Amino acid sequence: MPKTWGLAGCLVVAGAGPVMAHSPVPGIEGFYVGLLHPFSTPSQAVLMIGLGLLVGAFDVVKVRWLLGSFLVASTAGLIAGFGTAEIDATMFAAAFVACAFAALLPGKTALAALGVVAFGGLLIGAASIPDDGPMRDRMFTMSGSLVGANVGLLYLFGINHWIRELYTWAWVPIAFRVAAAWVGAIALVMLALSFAEIAPQG
Amino acid sequence: MTLRATITLLAITLAFLGTAFPVLAHAGDGYGGGFITGFTHPILGWDHVAAMVAVGLLGAFLGAPSIWILPVVFPLVMALGAVVGILGIPVPAVETGIALSAVVLGLMIAFALKPPIWVSAAIVGAFAVFHGYAHGTELPATVNAFAYAVGFVIATGMLHLIGIAFGILVKWPAGRVAVRGAGGLISLAGVAFLTGMA
């Protein structure tokens, strides 16, 4: 029986033709590009991870408010839109603040965390404006960015929460705090580098 | 695995090793080069290694909450030191500070000193500035800065973990002696760095 299935599988593979089924919706490629955009530059990736570590330390009841504020703020940022390069340093600074909260005060100061998450969402949204082009294509890309950022944060929280629930060892929350300190340190170094470019040398 | 198969496998491995050509495909720039350069920077400097391991050892020796506070404080303050270095702000006696960190932290472990948590955090944080400064000023212009930062932060954290893992031996009487002995060795190494013997 397995041999028959194997032979059938080989025939199917050998007889395969070019796939014509992709892109059923014209312009959908932009949506996929947008999905990955919130993780496509160091500043955005570090900010998203920092926010994920911050949000992941809170219980589910509070997290819905944090995620809700991120959704509203990222939408607002997308409408306001400044472009990535202009706010790179601000994103690193926000990532450092988020990581500092996650490392030093995890699961505490919910109001401050709400502010940090909302500000982070605003920056991620503002950095997700595509280059000039047809409005339809830009809308696809921006929709993808909005979904990518919000689903990305939801996944980061989910992974964080899942690990905490699955492994109840005392060192697991410590590991998250240490990870937040590492990511925060990276954000701070990158923040300095973004200023070092304009600082007088020598 | 039978003896014959093991010998065959060993012979094939030796044949591969004996006929290997130099690899010319790796460039020392970009993300990969930046990460490797950053990752190896703390590891290839013995003064950094001694102090990083000492931070982990001290944290484990002091127990909770120091076991997590010190490895959290160190990278955050180290990054501030790197910022100072990258911005070109002069800091005197950086190498002396790095060597002293090994001496002081090693002595604290060797003599089983248990200061209040804020004192140990302040000591570790003060020394972290020197280590971060060295990483910041020695950032090569040709490598990817982000990958370099990721590399040296991860390497530093892993050295802390080695110290913590060894420091957990303090649960047992013989382990306590071993950990204090390691602290003594680290402080001696620090003296060697300080006097230029190593």
Q: Which residue has the higher pLDDT, B115 or A25?
A: B115
Please list the ranges in chain A whose pLDDT falls under 70: 1, 17-25, 82-85, 197-202
In a domain, B15, yes or no: no
Contacts with B154 from chain A: Cβ below 8 Å: 182
In a domain, B39, yes or no: yes
Contacts with B52 from chain A: Cβ below 8 Å: none
* pLDDT for the residue numbered A84: 59
Contacts with B86 from chain A: Cβ below 8 Å: 189, 192-193, 196
In a domain, B51, yes or no: yes
Give the count of beta carbons closer than 10 Å to the beta carbon of residue B154. Answer: 18
**Do B86 and A189 count as a contact with CB atoms less than 8 A apart?**
yes
| pLDDT for residue B113 is more than 50 | yes
**Do B72 and A104 count as a contact with CB atoms less than 8 A apart?**
yes
**Do B79 and A189 count as a contact with CB atoms less than 8 A apart?**
yes
Question: Do residues A49 and A94 lie in contact, with contact meaning Cβ atoms separated by under 8 Å?
Answer: no
Please report which residue ranges of B63-144 form alpha helices under DSSP H: 66-86, 94-110, 117-137
A125 sits in the region (left: phi over 0; alpha: psi -120 to 50; else beta) called alpha
| pLDDT for residue B67 is more than 60 | yes
Q: Nearest-CA distance from B6 to chain A in Å?
A: 32
Using a CB–CB cutoff of 8 Å, tell me whether B76 touches chain A: yes
What is the tally of structural domains in chain B?
1
| pLDDT for residue B36 is more than 60 | yes
**Do B83 and A189 count as a contact with CB atoms less than 8 A apart?**
yes
In a domain, B49, yes or no: yes
In a domain, B182, yes or no: yes
| Element containing residue A182 per DSSP (H, E) | helix A171-196
Question: Do residues B35 and B150 lie in contact, with contact meaning Cβ atoms separated by under 8 Å?
Answer: yes
* pLDDT for the residue numbered A83: 60
Q: What is the ipTM of this complex?
A: 0.71
Using a CB–CB cutoff of 8 Å, tell me whether B71 touches chain A: yes
Mutation target vs A (from B143, B150, B160, B162; most A CBs, 10 A cutoff): B150
Question: Residue B83: closest CA among chain A residues belongs to which residue?
Answer: A192
Compute the distance between CA of residue A120 and CA of residue A74 in angstroms, rounded to an integer: 8
In a domain, B8, yes or no: no
* pLDDT for the residue numbered A4: 83
Residue B61 sits in which domain range?
A: 29-195
Q: Where are the domains of chain A?
A: 28-196
* pLDDT for the residue numbered A201: 40
**Do A177 and B154 count as a contact with CB atoms less than 8 A apart?**
no
Using a CB–CB cutoff of 8 Å, tell me whether B122 touches chain A: no
Torsion angle defined by CA atoms of residues A114, A115, A117 and A123, in that order, rounded to the nearest 10 degrees = 160
Compute the distance between CA of residue A71 and CA of residue A147 in angstroms, rounded to an integer: 9
Contacts with B87 from chain A: Cβ below 8 Å: 192, 195-196, 199
**Do A177 and B68 count as a contact with CB atoms less than 8 A apart?**
yes
Compute the distance between CA of residue A183 and CA of residue B109 in angstroms, rounded to an integer: 28
Using a CB–CB cutoff of 8 Å, tell me whether B159 touches chain A: no
Band of pLDDT at residue B52, cut at 50, 70 and 90: confident
Please give the structure tokens belonging to residue B156: 């530093």
Contacts with B71 from chain A: Cβ below 8 Å: 178, 181
Q: What is the pLDDT of residues B148-173, one digit of tens each?
A: 888 888 888 888 888 888 888 888 88
In a domain, B113, yes or no: yes
> Taking residues B137-158, what's their average pLDDT?
81
Nearest to B54 by CA among B37, B66, B36, B39: B66
In a domain, B168, yes or no: yes
Contacts with A191 from chain B: Cβ below 8 Å: 83
**Do B145 and A190 count as a contact with CB atoms less than 8 A apart?**
yes
